[in-house]
Amino acid sequence: MSMLQENDPYMKDMKQVETAALFRQIIRIMEELRQGVKKPYKEVIDVASGDPQKTGMKPLSFVRQILAACLYPQLINDNKLPVDVRQRAQRLLGECPGGSVGSYSATRGMPDIVHRVSEYISRRDGGAWSNPENIYISPGSQWSLANIFQILVNTEASTRTGILTPVPGYNTSILSIKELGAVPVPYYLDEEQGWELHMEELHRALASAKGVCNPVALYIINPGNPSGQVQSRQSIQEVIQFASEKRLFILADEVYQDTVYGEKSEFVSYKRVLAEMGPPFSDTVELASFHSASKGMLGECGLRCGYVELVNLDPAVMKYIYTQFSKDSCAPVLGQIALDVMANPPQPGDPSYPFYIEETQHIRTTLVHNVNRALTAFNSLPGLTCQPGEGGVFVFPRLDLPPRAIQKAKEAGLGPDTFYCVNLLEDAGVFARPGAEYGQKEGTHHIRICIMTPPDIMEELLRRVTSFHTQLMKDFS
Amino acid sequence: MSMLQENDPYMKDMKQVETAALFRQIIRIMEELRQGVKKPYKEVIDVASGDPQKTGMKPLSFVRQILAACLYPQLINDNKLPVDVRQRAQRLLGECPGGSVGSYSATRGMPDIVHRVSEYISRRDGGAWSNPENIYISPGSQWSLANIFQILVNTEASTRTGILTPVPGYNTSILSIKELGAVPVPYYLDEEQGWELHMEELHRALASAKGVCNPVALYIINPGNPSGQVQSRQSIQEVIQFASEKRLFILADEVYQDTVYGEKSEFVSYKRVLAEMGPPFSDTVELASFHSASKGMLGECGLRCGYVELVNLDPAVMKYIYTQFSKDSCAPVLGQIALDVMANPPQPGDPSYPFYIEETQHIRTTLVHNVNRALTAFNSLPGLTCQPGEGGVFVFPRLDLPPRAIQKAKEAGLGPDTFYCVNLLEDAGVFARPGAEYGQKEGTHHIRICIMTPPDIMEELLRRVTSFHTQLMKDFS
Ligand SMILES: Cc1ncc(COP(=O)(O)O)c(C=O)c1O
Ligand SMILES: Cc1ncc(COP(=O)(O)O)c(C=O)c1O
């Protein structure tokens, strides 16, 4: 047995066993509440997923108006909707096959939308070149992540394929890798340094794979989920150099790029840094960069749409990817339209511009407000410490529970973090997720909370967590 | 080399080579038309896919109104929309997490919708039992077909997995099977008998697999694509007996169930026949039955939503399927809502009922009208014979081209059917698909045309095909 397997930070039963119990619990509690069973709370606050609308955030009116008008074109003639909405809907319908959102689109997405997404990437990246041919719109970025993983994994080789993955990291990706029979090779983010990514740690991780698997790719989440760190340009440059030297394919999961709130932080894409580094990097390092309509200002998880941009891939691989993506006829057309709006929001002078700015400002302000409130509250509690995040939509505070609580968890057959979440849900009606799902350094325990929620719900959440936590520390001290 | 491999009716380069040329051609022609290049036609009639809205069919107002109101809830308070639409939208929003279609739903679909789809299946099947736990809503039925195929294929066994597949049959399914490294084992539908499925042929096909692969499943398309046949209850019963005896998993692709137009035909589901056969069949034969919001009266291909009902599967396999389906967080929520409307259309007395009936009647009338017009027109042309279909949305006439035309096709490196389609598109602006894509009996050639199109477009199409065909027969006679 190698070092790597002994210390698997992604628990074997991650999601499957422990959190299956948590999911059964939430279903039971919701049902009990519906039936009027008395509890210390009337409603569960569900901050378990990065799903802003589930927690009460409002969708952007401009997006919803356009989608409604595309679905029901009578609205285009109705002057209740702003004129730019109606014009935009009209133009988008003209680009749909048969003039309807009810037709299949091309496999990679509607050509006009793919084109505009490519232009948007160029603008975002200070003019860096982007080729529409390299862009694939898919039913969510999770879908394209799973499919790119599948292409990278060689199931026929005698040595298993390895993919370097962050600890902590987005659990669905890690499960995808495991299900494909590949090996996630963990690299640890440095919690004490605000979850920073250190180059030595990447080197250590790669070395740990020796004799275990054949690492072919490096999976990066920036801004981080659940960790909330945002990589600097310098750090990205070093990672690209490392990937180039070690011949690793970079998967840059950048779905949280539009929610960077750290005062000194700025989102810089891998694509941009790669382009700006110039040759030999810019024309050799293989990169897949992911974005989504589910996150950022839109938060339209239910529409299921994202895109991946592929850079420097072998034409033979690109052809294979096309076939792989053709398994599904196309991404949902309404999701594609939302992506188009994300890439082309209203501009100054457009009738919808002022309200659009108001709504997006409100989301940004809420995020900053919530993260500050959460940090203050959690860091003032004994046994809870929370690193200041810079981006994303989660906080990931660390639990230091009294030994008696840990013992109690053990008796219940649960890890301390899952034990905490189970009781937090049962006693306080707050649905958070245990760190075990995302991987954590041995001996450390965390909980993940989505902070993309209306401020009043955030206050109620903090009140509940504070009183639950205080009681728990008292009971087990 | 075995019998099976020698006579592969699904051309090796099916879709990839020949039809790639056809797709490049359509893109070029569309571009030329856009640029004002003179052609004998102003617009291409695209009847290449089973995509009614692409060919100009209108969506159902009731569906679109509900979707628009769910997206933009201000419309719920607007009395322009019928009251039942507004009530339904309100109720559906109440069932969405966070009250919004912008949230992720449960992996298998929104529980309330899954429940109502299950009740709908029971009603459709004369009260046969349906368990919501066995229903998975997915982003299109193609998605769930591909995933169930993947579960059935054992890539580690020394003998390849075989799946019995119809000739002709839906090409995307057959490509999926091939890409998974499995072997499609062709069984031929009997063209002369209106594409009937004969039991002897299933036996022959199964025997042909001996020494080539290990057949584990039987893929059925009923009503047929592209063949348009509809199986009788008797025929389904025999197929189930066969599957039971040979221990084959049945995949019943029933996406065209709502478009049966044959005077003596009726759609009966595999699920219903299986249930009515009673034990031992009803509790042992493994069945996956597929349906979709893309077809039937809705024709909402762009929404990407379908469901599969799984019957008699091993609990361990069901668990595995759950994991497989969790790769994607959920099906698009708006698609799920469309599926819910499909399962629960307006009822007599509802404000939307009369118009809903008018619209659906119109679709049915159009389909019957178009198929009759197509049959009359094609069967009156020398070198074209078309079997009377009973269901689905395609006609699949057979071409008997003069030897000189076949020679000419050969010189162009094309099969006679692709040669025909290439010229039909170039000269007459009609985009149809060659039979080679779907598999056809050696020495026979067909074209596939979607007949779900407004009658005036159908007339124009028939006019173009007739004059093109007449000229071609003259040129090569
Ligand atoms: C890091 C990360 N990547 C990808 C996704 C998937 O997003 P979607 O499939 O909705 O685009 C998520 C969702 O939470 C995520 O957190
Ligand atoms: C026989 C058959 N099955 C499945 C599908 C896929 O339908 P969807 O994925 O849109 O539900 C089609 C589409 O044309 C089809 O013809």
pLDDT at residue B98 greater than cutoff 60: yes
Cα(B142) to centroid(ligand 2), Å: 6
Of the three residues A343, A371, A397, the one that is the final residue of a domain is A343
- B326 shares its domain with B179: yes
What pLDDT does B8 receive? 66
CA A101 to chain centre: 27
**Residue A442 confidence class, pLDDT cut points 50, 70, 90:** very high
**B256 is a domain residue:** yes
For residue B431, what are the β-bridge partners? B46
- A109 shares its domain with A245: yes
Q: Residue B464 has which token pair?
A: 């173009």
Q: Which strand (E) or helix (H) includes residue B450?
A: strand B445-450
CA distance A62 to A358: 12
Tokens 């691989």 belong to A317
Which of A142, A326, A332 lies at the smallest CB-CB distance from B303? A332
Q: What's the burial of B187, exposed, middle or buried (CB within 10 Å: 0-12/13-18/19+)?
A: buried
What pLDDT does B155 receive? 81
pLDDT tens digits along B177-209: 998 899 999 999 999 999 999 999 999 999 999
pLDDT tens digits along A18-74: 667 788 899 899 999 999 999 999 999 999 999 999 999 999 999 999 999 999 999
Helix (H, G, I), strand (E, B) or coil at A302: helix
CA distance A278 to A301: 36
CA distance B367 to A353: 46
Pick the ligand that lies closest to the CA of residue B139.
Answer: 2
**A164 is a domain residue:** yes
Instruction: Indicate the Cα dihedral angle A205, A208, A213, A217, nearest 10°.
Output: 10
Cα(A254) to centroid(ligand 1), Å: 9
pLDDT tens digits along B201-260: 999 999 999 999 999 999 999 999 999 999 999 999 999 999 999 999 999 999 999 999
What pLDDT does B4 receive? 52
- B268 shares its domain with B174: yes
CA distance B239 to A277: 63
Beta-carbon contacts of A434 under 8 Å, excluding residues fewer than 6 positions away, are A18, A19, A22, A415, A417, A418, A420, A421, A445, A446, A447, A448
CATH code where residue B286 lies: 3.40.640.10
- Return mean pLDDT, chain B: 94
**Interchain CB distance below 8 Å, A71 and B67:** yes
Of the candidates B403, B459, B461, B452, which has an alpha carbon nearest to the alpha carbon of residue B429? B461
CA distance A169 to B9: 47
Q: Residue A357 has which token pair?
A: 């700015």
Q: What's the burial of B349, exposed, middle or buried (CB within 10 Å: 0-12/13-18/19+)?
A: exposed
- B268 shares its domain with B387: no
**A87 is a domain residue:** no
Of the candidates A458, A437, A461, which has an alpha carbon nearest to the alpha carbon of residue A225? A437
Strand pairing report for A398-399 and A306-311: unpaired
What pLDDT does A78 receive? 86
- A380 shares its domain with A276: no
Of the candidates A280, A346, A313, which has an alpha carbon nearest to the alpha carbon of residue A136? A313
What pLDDT does A8 receive? 65
Angle subtended at Cα B58 by Cα B53 and Cα B62, rounded to the nearest 5 degrees: 120
Helix (H, G, I), strand (E, B) or coil at B230: coil
Q: Would you give the DSSP letter of residue B190?
A: B
Atom from ligand 2 closest to the CA of residue B141: 11
What pLDDT does A379 receive? 97
CA-CA distances (angstroms) from residue A476 to A85, A400, A401, A405? 58, 12, 8, 6
Query: Which residue out of A103, A292, A297 would a mutagenesis test of the B interface target, given it has the greatest number of B Cβ atoms within 10 Å?
Result: A103
Which of B53, B71, B98 lies at the smallest CB-CB distance from A67? B71
CA B139 to chain centre: 15
Residues of A in contact with B72 (CB under 8 A): 64-65, 67-68
Neighbours of B386 (CB within 10 A): 21
The beta-strand segments (E) located in B32-150 are 45-46, 135-138
- B196 shares its domain with B334: yes
Q: If you average pLDDT over residues A227-231, what whole number do you get?
A: 97
Q: If you average pLDDT over residues B166-182, what whole number do you get?
A: 92
Q: Which of B47, B55, B142, B304 has most ligand 2 atoms within 8 Å of its beta carbon, as the pocket-test mutant?
A: B142
Atom from ligand 1 closest to the CA of residue A294: 10
CB pairs below 8 Å between A and B: how many?
Answer: 168
CA-CA distances (angstroms) from residue B465 to A229, A367, A449, B470? 62, 61, 62, 8
Whether the Cβ atoms of residue B278 and residue B242 lie closer than 8 Å to each other? no
Q: Which of B294, B300, B394, B437 has most ligand 2 atoms within 8 Å of its beta carbon, as the pocket-test mutant?
A: B294
Cα(B329) to centroid(ligand 2), Å: 21
**B286 is a domain residue:** yes
- Structural domain boundaries enclosing A431: 3-57+357-476
Type of residue numbered A429? G
Q: Is the CB of B392 under 6 A from ligand 2?
A: no
Of the three residues B343, B367, B394, the one that is the final residue of a domain is B343
- B329 shares its domain with B441: no
- Closest C-alpha to ligand 2, atom 14: B50
**A94 is a domain residue:** no
pLDDT at residue B1 greater than cutoff 50: no
- What count of residues does chain B have? 477
What pLDDT does A18 receive? 61
* Total domain count, chain A: 2
CA distance B428 to B380: 19
ω into A168 cis (within 30 of 0): yes
- A321 shares its domain with A193: yes
Strand pairing report for A306-311 and A135-138: antiparallel
For residue B183, what are the β-bridge partners? B162
Atom from ligand 1 closest to the CA of residue B104: 10
- Closest C-alpha to ligand 2, atom 5: B142
Which of B101, B300, B329 lies at the smallest CB-CB distance from A102? B300
Beta-carbon contacts of A80 under 8 Å, excluding residues fewer than 6 positions away, are B78
CA distance A125 to A81: 33
Residues of B in contact with A53 (CB under 8 A): 97-98, 100, 102-103
**B73 is a domain residue:** no
CA distance B100 to B92: 9
Chain B residue with the nearest C-alpha to that of A333: B302
- Which phi and psi (to 5°) does residue A291 adopt? -145, 165
pLDDT tens digits along B396-435: 999 999 999 999 999 998 999 999 999 999 999 999 999 9
Beta-carbon contacts of B395 under 8 Å, excluding residues fewer than 6 positions away, are B228, B371, B374, B375, B378, B386, B389, B448, B449, B451
Instruction: Indicate the Cα dihedral angle B178, B181, B182, B187, nearest 10°.
Output: 30
Chain B residue with the nearest C-alpha to that of A143: B328
pLDDT tens digits along A78-103: 889 999 999 999 999 999 999 999 99
Chain B residue with the nearest C-alpha to that of A324: B179
**Residue A2 confidence class, pLDDT cut points 50, 70, 90:** very low
**Interchain CB distance below 8 Å, A332 and B332:** yes
pLDDT tens digits along A184-194: 999 999 999 99
- B364 shares its domain with B329: no
What pLDDT does A389 receive? 87
What pLDDT does B324 receive? 80
The least confident of A14-18, A230-234, B392-396 is A14-18
Type of residue numbered B409? A
Report the percentage of chain B scoring pLDDT > 70: 96
What pLDDT does B129 receive? 94
**Residue B7 confidence class, pLDDT cut points 50, 70, 90:** low
For ligand 1, residues with CB inside 6 Å are A 50, 140-142, 170, 221, 225, 253, 255, 292, 294, 301, 306; B 329
The DSSP-derived string for B358-394 is HHHHHHHHHHHHHHHHHHHHHHTSTTEE-PPP-BSSE
Tokens 């026979």 belong to B444
Cα(A107) to centroid(ligand 2), Å: 14
CA distance A374 to B8: 64
**Interchain CB distance below 8 Å, A97 and B155:** no
Which of A101, A139, A176 lies at the smallest CB-CB distance from B139? A139
CA distance B120 to A356: 41
- B278 shares its domain with B410: no
Q: Is the CB of B50 under 6 A from ligand 2?
A: yes
CA distance B457 to B370: 10
Cα(B335) to centroid(ligand 2), Å: 14
Helix (H, G, I), strand (E, B) or coil at B439: coil
CA distance A131 to A319: 16
Of the three residues A287, A321, A343, the one that is the final residue of a domain is A343
pLDDT at residue A17 greater than cutoff 70: no
Tokens 């990097």 belong to A281
CA distance B247 to A199: 55
Atom from ligand 2 closest to the CA of residue A104: 10
Q: Which of A171, A295, A396 has most ligand 1 atoms within 8 Å of its beta carbon, as the pocket-test mutant?
A: A295
Residues of A in contact with B142 (CB under 8 A): 327-329
Q: Residue A457 has which token pair?
A: 């719900």
**Residue A15 confidence class, pLDDT cut points 50, 70, 90:** very low
- A154 shares its domain with A33: no
Query: Which residue out of A105, A329, A339, A433 would a mutagenesis test of the B interface target, given it has the greatest number of B Cβ atoms within 10 Å?
Result: A329
Of the candidates A327, A294, A288, A322, which has an alpha carbon nearest to the alpha carbon of residue A308? A288
Cα(A388) to centroid(ligand 2), Å: 48
pLDDT at residue B107 greater than cutoff 80: yes
Of the candidates A156, A174, A326, A173, which has an alpha carbon nearest to the alpha carbon of residue B146? A326
Whether the Cβ atoms of residue A216 and residue A249 lie closer than 8 Å to each other? yes
Helix (H, G, I), strand (E, B) or coil at A33: helix
Chain B residue with the nearest C-alpha to that of A337: B302
The DSSP-derived string for B282-294 is GGTS-EEEEEESS
Pick the ligand that lies closest to the CA of residue B225.
Answer: 2
- A318 shares its domain with A439: no
CA distance B187 to B185: 7
Atom from ligand 1 closest to the CA of residue B329: 9
**A349 is a domain residue:** no
What pLDDT does A7 receive? 54
Q: If you average pLDDT over residues A301-323, what whole number do you get?
A: 93
CATH code where residue A378 lies: 3.90.1150.10
Of the candidates B56, B38, B39, B35, which has an alpha carbon nearest to the alpha carbon of residue B47? B56
Q: Is the CB of B306 under 6 A from ligand 2?
A: yes
Which of B49, B64, B176 lies at the smallest CB-CB distance from A104? B49
Cα(B177) to centroid(ligand 2), Å: 15
**Interchain CB distance below 8 Å, B328 and A140:** yes
Shortest CA gap B240–chain A (Å): 28
Q: Which of B254, B295, B451 has most ligand 2 atoms within 8 Å of its beta carbon, as the pocket-test mutant?
A: B295
Strand pairing report for B394-395 and B445-450: antiparallel
Which of B49, B172, B333 lies at the smallest CB-CB distance from A302? B333
**Interchain CB distance below 8 Å, B302 and A104:** yes
**Residue A3 confidence class, pLDDT cut points 50, 70, 90:** very low
The DSSP-derived string for A41-69 is -SS-EE-SSS-TTTTTPPPPHHHHHHHHH
**B91 is a domain residue:** no
Of the candidates A275, A284, A197, which has an alpha carbon nearest to the alpha carbon of residue A246? A284
Q: If you average pLDDT over residues A242-264, what whole number do you get?
A: 96
Q: If you average pLDDT over residues A236-259, what whole number do you get?
A: 98
